Amino acid sequence: MLSFRVAVFALSAAILAAGCSNQSGWGNSPRSANSATGESSTFNANSNTDLRASGNLNGSGNMSANQDTSIAGNFWQEAAASGLAEVELGKLATTNAQSPDVKQFGQMMVQDHTAANDELKPIAQRKNIPLPNSLDSMHKTINDRLAGMSGPDFDREFIDVMTGDHQKAVQLFQATANSDTDPDAKSFASKTLPVLEKHLQQAKSIQAKLK
C-alpha cells in the first residue's frame, strides 16, 4: 500500500511540473518574442504607412535626430509635397480670405514656396528622385474643403492648417539641416529653414488675432 501511494504521489508531481513549464510561455502569447532578437513577432502594418502625416516623427512626436531623411529621396519628396500644398492653398487664400492679413499670408505662401520649389526641382532631377506633381490625398481633401469656404470661417481654417503644416515642416528641415548625410539636403534645408520659421511665427500671430 505504501509503495502504491508513493507511485501516485510521484506521478502527480510530474504532471504538475509539466503543466507549470508550459503556462504563459512566449510561444503561446499572441505577441510572442522572436527567440533570436527578443522582438515581438507581431507587426502593425499601418504603423509606418503615413510618412508625411508624421513628418518622419518618432514616437514622442519629435523628429529623430539621427534619421537620414535623404535616403530614398524622402526629404526631397516631403519638401516638394509640402511646398506644393502651400502654393495651392495660398492661392485659395488670395481669393477666399476676408482678413487682409490672411490674404497677404496666402500671397507670401505662393511667392516663397514657388521660389523654394523651383530651387528644389533641379536638385532632385540631378539625383533622379521623382517628385510629386499634384496634391497628396490629405491636402487634396483640405483644399477641397477650403475651396467651399469664405470669409471668417475660411480665415480661421486656413491659418490653422498653415500653422500645423509649418510646424511639421520646421521639424523636418531642422532635422535635415542638423543630421542629414546628403550635403545637398543639408544645404537646401539650412537655407530654407529661416523662411519656414518666419512663416510659422506669422501664422501663429494671425491665428491668435482670429480667435
Q: What is the pLDDT of residues 138-197, one digit of tens each?
A: 999 999 999 999 999 999 999 999 999 999 999 999 999 998 889 999 999 999 999 999
In a domain, 9, yes or no: no
Q: What does the alpha-carbon distance between residue 174 and residue 70 come to, in Å, rounded to a whole number?
A: 13
In a domain, 107, yes or no: yes
CA atoms within 13 A on the CB side of 132: 19
> CA nearest 94: which of 160, 166, 154, 161?
154
Output the pLDDT for position 135.
96
In a domain, 164, yes or no: yes
Q: What does the alpha-carbon distance between residue 21 and residue 117 come to, in Å, rounded to a whole number?
A: 63
Please, which residues have CB within 8 angstroms of residue 104's CB and are 6 or more apart in sequence? none
Instruction: Name the DSSP class of 32.
Output: P
Q: What does the alpha-carbon distance between residue 180 and residue 171 come to, in Å, rounded to a whole number?
A: 13
Strands (E), the chain: none
When the pLDDT of each residue in the chain is averaged and rounded to a whole number, the result is 76
In a domain, 115, yes or no: yes
* Strand-pair partners of 63: 57
Output the pLDDT for position 202.
98
In a domain, 39, yes or no: no
Greater pLDDT, 133 or 39:
133
Mean pLDDT, residues 51-70 taken together: 40
In a domain, 41, yes or no: no
CB 162 within 8 A of CB 104: no
Of 64-68, 109-113, 151-155, 163-167, least confident by mean pLDDT is 64-68
Output the pLDDT for position 73.
56
pLDDT at 208 over 50: yes
pLDDT tens, position by position, 73-108: 589 999 999 999 999 999 999 999 999 999 999 999
Mean pLDDT, residues 116-133 taken together: 95
In a domain, 117, yes or no: yes
* Strand-pair partners of 33: 40
In a domain, 29, yes or no: no
CATH of the domain at 130: 1.20.1260.10
Domain range for 94 is: 72-210
pLDDT at 13 over 80: no
The count of domains in the chain is 1
Q: pLDDT band at residue 63, thresholds of 50, 70 and 90?
A: very low
Query: Backbone dihedral region of 66: left (phi > 0), alpha (psi from -120 to 50 degrees) or beta?
Result: alpha
Question: Rounded to whole angstroms, what are the CA distances from 118 to 65, 69, 104, 110, 194?
Answer: 27, 20, 21, 12, 17
Output the pLDDT for position 54.
37
